[in-house]
A and B are shown apart, each in its own frame.
Chain A
Amino acid sequence: MNVSPITPNPRARFAAMLAPTSHGVWPFGAAAVDACLPGGGLPLGVLHEVSAPGLDGETGAAGAGFLACIAGAIGRGREIFWIGPAVADLHPPGLLSYGLDPGRLVQVETPDDDASLAAMEAVLRSGSAGVVVGEAGRLGRVAARRLQLACLKHGTTGFVLRRWPYGRKPAAEEAIAAVTRWEIAPAPSAVIERTPGAARWRVRLTHARGGQAGGWIMQAREGDDDGPHPLRVVAGLAAVAAAADAERERSAG
């Protein structure tokens, strides 16, 4: 009689199945960042959550710029689905400066958040997309779990960009079901003669399963001098905070 081996610990097997790095990682190329992430980079084929405080939660601009940098580099050149109720304001020519080819972009306009998450799940499950970005005001635990499983099915990377309509209160934070959660805010760029430099973000990694939290200032790739990576880590947030404190003390004293 053929007896299949009994897994000693089903929980361990399930955990292995959900291992965040089973589809590889995408390194940021900066030791400070990659050390905080499981497997030494952004895990691929899993679900990530990106939110932005304040004004950017309504406009979704800073988060979109940051995601465009990442989406342009992963997904093996396959289609990028960008799904959401207000996705019509995503302006394809604006993606070029972040290294994302708008020819890859398929925009999907949905009636509401639930439809966005359902459409995301359908695309992730089909395995025909390289990257799926969904804009939604809230991401419940069950929805996040479903999306996470859909990501794992074909190893497609999914991002939920938290965004809510103008004048609406942001939904309360839910328990985290995504593998990582990021908070993206704009940061002042390196100004040369009153001209803005390349886009910069105050990037906070608030949760990473199997990793640890961290915060950095990152800058979009500006030219060929920056190398092939779309993001460059300018400084750690701790260093920035210390510099700001010193500045404040100096101006006070």
Chain B
Amino acid sequence: MPSENEAPAKPAATVETLHAVRRLAAVNPEAAAAGLAPGQALAEARAICPELDVLEADPAADRAALARLAGWAERYTPLAAPDAPDGLVLDIAGCEHLFGGERALAEDLSARLLRAGLEHRLAVAGTHGAAWALARAATARGICIHAAPGAERAELATLPVALLRLDARVVAGLRRLGLRSIGELARQPRGELTARFGPTPVQRLDQAHGAADAAIAWPRPPEPWETRLAFAEPIGTADDLARTLATLAAALCARLEAAERGAHRFIATFLRVDGARPAIAIGTSLPGHDAAHATKLLAAKLGEIDPGFGIDAAILTAQDIAPLRPPQRRLDDGREAATGLAATIDGLANRIGPSHIWRSEPYESHVPERAVRRIPPMTATRPAWEYDPSAERPIRLLRRPEPVEATALVPDEPPILFRWRGALHRIRAATGPERIAAEWWRRTPDDSRKETDLVRDYYRVEDTEGARFWLFRAGLEGTPRWFLHGLFG
């Protein structure tokens, strides 16, 4: 990407190796003025222009830069795609009025590209094929050519057939028949063209004329719930960004509310002038269209956005859309309490991460670690728990049972003392054992441990101080190994 401070400009070209010959891949305007063109052998080019600067072509970086440019072009329309190797295609249908019409949009785009130091040619037309051909037929930079609606046929007639995106072999074949312009091609019988060159020439002709649809691979599917805001001048201060969020959220939430929908996720994407797209996302536990709530949650994350040299457009997307009826105002304000709780939980979840806030529900498993399952904290009904006095569970369950040194008089009895974390505990009372076996259906086939090794005998013990512990003895055979798994309050 040439920049303006590289003065004075020298002829330069990128070079690639094609069939063991070093050839020019691209040339800058100075090199083109010296008579060089892409495809020329490097040796020949050096002979014509000895002071030529040569760089190795990097197609992967070119593609990446083009993709970044396509992302930047989303300031004009959500449908912007890179058109390798050197083009961009924007579907501006329905967006042009936001910029004052097609011509104004094209001039704005052209001015911004020039400011970024990007050579370009630009065309606006009714079909992708026509715009493609007209843009590449232009000779001077930055000129906007407008094909009037329905006039594609006349405008394209004089252009060479190569501009129909046909491959070189087909173009050469057409030239042998004396068909040089698109107009001449269009006058030929379609059946014979297809029989000789396959379906492509006729198909491309129809696409350029608007008689057939063209498929374009957009980098991301169009989002139905999206608002965007493009700025005349790049912005960068936190206040401006927060105001932008509020404006976008108000517009998007008004649409959601009108459609009686709510979103679980809001994503704000900022299009930076250098093509980067920093984004922040927030989630809500209840679907919502409360602009103030969404703005507040998003604004809390604005610190993550690095505005760089400025941000010249912002997009707010709502995802996970669910139907939402207007809030019910009931006498017992049950719903209002629920939405207040949801707002509180959202505030915490977006600050510390949604995986760090949870409710627990019982799970059908007698293995203590697996008897509880975490669920999202906002549920329609609270999980139902039942107290089983025969299976008391500790109030603190260690993540992993910790081995303890225990002394038991009789192997089948609870220990009389044990040492844990350096402190000795004498046991004055104990109850148990409660035998808990591993769930055999969860074992992997290559697990070589014996069934009897996977049995735990749990004891509830109380030491002389009154502290209560949940100990277990692992395995039925061999030396008993004791572990501490939890503490009672």
Task: Please tell me if the beta carbons of A109 and B489 are within 8 angstroms of each other in the complex.
Answer: no
Q: Least Cβ distance of A170 to chain B in Å?
A: 15
CB contacts (< 8 Å) of B468 on chain A: these are 61, 186, 196, 199
* Those of B333-360 within 8 Å (CB) of chain A: 337, 340-341, 343-345, 347-348, 351-352, 356-360
The B interface, classified by DSSP as helix, strand, loop or mixed, is: mixed
Task: Please tell me if the beta carbons of A55 and B394 are within 8 angstroms of each other in the complex.
Answer: no
Task: Please tell me if the beta carbons of A119 and B383 are within 8 angstroms of each other in the complex.
Answer: no
Given A61-B487, A91-B397, CB of A103 within 8 Å of CB of B348: no
B441 at interface by CB-CB < 8 Å: no
**Docked pose: A191 CA to B466 CA in angstroms:** 10
Task: Please tell me if the beta carbons of A94 and B396 are within 8 angstroms of each other in the complex.
Answer: yes
**Docked pose: A103 CA to B344 CA in angstroms:** 18
A96 at interface by CB-CB < 8 Å: yes
| Cβ 8 A contact of B466, one of A95, A110, A126, A189 | A189
**Docked pose: A52 CA to B457 CA in angstroms:** 30
CB contacts (< 8 Å) of A122 on chain B: these are 344, 347-348
Task: Please tell me if the beta carbons of B362 and A62 are within 8 angstroms of each other in the complex.
Answer: no
* Those of B372-386 within 8 Å (CB) of chain A: 372, 377, 382-386
Considering the complex, give the chain A residue whose CB is closest to the CB of B340: A128
Task: Please tell me if the beta carbons of B359 and A94 are within 8 angstroms of each other in the complex.
Answer: no
B304 at interface by CB-CB < 8 Å: no
**Docked pose: A185 CA to B345 CA in angstroms:** 33
Task: Please tell me if the beta carbons of B462 and A191 are within 8 angstroms of each other in the complex.
Answer: yes
Q: Least Cβ distance of A24 to chain B in Å?
A: 19
Task: Please tell me if the beta carbons of B467 and A103 are within 8 angstroms of each other in the complex.
Answer: no
B486 at interface by CB-CB < 8 Å: yes
**Docked pose: A59 CA to B467 CA in angstroms:** 11
A17 at interface by CB-CB < 8 Å: no
**Docked pose: A128 CA to B392 CA in angstroms:** 31
Considering the complex, give the chain B residue whose CB is closest to the CB of A56: B467
A85-127 Cβ-contact flags toward B at 8 Å (1 or 0): 0001111111111100111111111110001000100110011
Given A55-B423, A89-B397, A186-B468, CB of A109 within 8 Å of CB of B352: yes
Q: Least Cβ distance of A106 to chain B in Å?
A: 5
Among the 9-residue stretches A64-72, A140-148, A172-180, the one with 4 or more Cβ atoms under 8 Å from chain B is A64-72
A60 at interface by CB-CB < 8 Å: yes
Among the 9-residue stretches B224-232, B319-327, B427-435, the one with 4 or more Cβ atoms under 8 Å from chain A is B427-435
Greatest chain A CB density within 10 A among B343, B351, B358, B396 is at B396
CB contacts (< 8 Å) of B467 on chain A: these are 55-56, 61-62, 186
B218 at interface by CB-CB < 8 Å: no
Residues of A in contact with B, size category? 35 or more
B389 at interface by CB-CB < 8 Å: yes
| Cβ 8 A contact of A106, one of B351, B377, B396 | B377
**Docked pose: A98 CA to B488 CA in angstroms:** 11
| Cβ 8 A contact of A61, one of B382, B383, B387, B489 | B489
B395 at interface by CB-CB < 8 Å: yes
Given A65-B489, A91-B372, CB of A126 within 8 Å of CB of B382: no
Q: Least Cβ distance of A109 to chain B in Å?
A: 4
Q: Least Cβ distance of A102 to chain B in Å?
A: 5
| Cβ 8 A contact of B465, one of A60, A98, A166, A186 | A186
Task: Please tell me if the beta carbons of A93 and B348 are within 8 angstroms of each other in the complex.
Answer: no
A129 at interface by CB-CB < 8 Å: yes
B464 at interface by CB-CB < 8 Å: yes
CB contacts (< 8 Å) of B430 on chain A: these are 194-196
CB contacts (< 8 Å) of B486 on chain A: these are 91, 94
**Docked pose: A94 CA to B468 CA in angstroms:** 12
Considering the complex, give the chain A residue whose CB is closest to the CB of B387: A96
Task: Please tell me if the beta carbons of B395 and A68 are within 8 angstroms of each other in the complex.
Answer: yes
CB contacts (< 8 Å) of A88 on chain B: these are 399
Q: Least Cβ distance of B336 to chain A in Å?
A: 10
Given A122-B347, A195-B429, CB of A188 within 8 Å of CB of B385: no
Task: Please tell me if the beta carbons of B429 and A107 are within 8 angstroms of each other in the complex.
Answer: no
| Cβ 8 A contact of A126, one of B343, B356, B396, B421 | B343
Task: Please tell me if the beta carbons of A90 and B340 are within 8 angstroms of each other in the complex.
Answer: no
Task: Please tell me if the beta carbons of A105 and B359 are within 8 angstroms of each other in the complex.
Answer: yes
Task: Please tell me if the beta carbons of B464 and A59 are within 8 angstroms of each other in the complex.
Answer: no
CB contacts (< 8 Å) of B385 on chain A: these are 92-93, 96, 101-103
Q: 11 A-B contacts, Cβ less than 8 Å apart?
A: A55-B467, A61-B395, A90-B396, A91-B372, A102-B383, A103-B359, A103-B383, A115-B352, A166-B421, A188-B466, A195-B429
Counting from the closest, the 9 A-B pairs by CB-CB distance are A65-B489, A103-B382, A94-B395, A91-B397, A186-B466, A61-B487, A93-B393, A126-B344, A128-B340
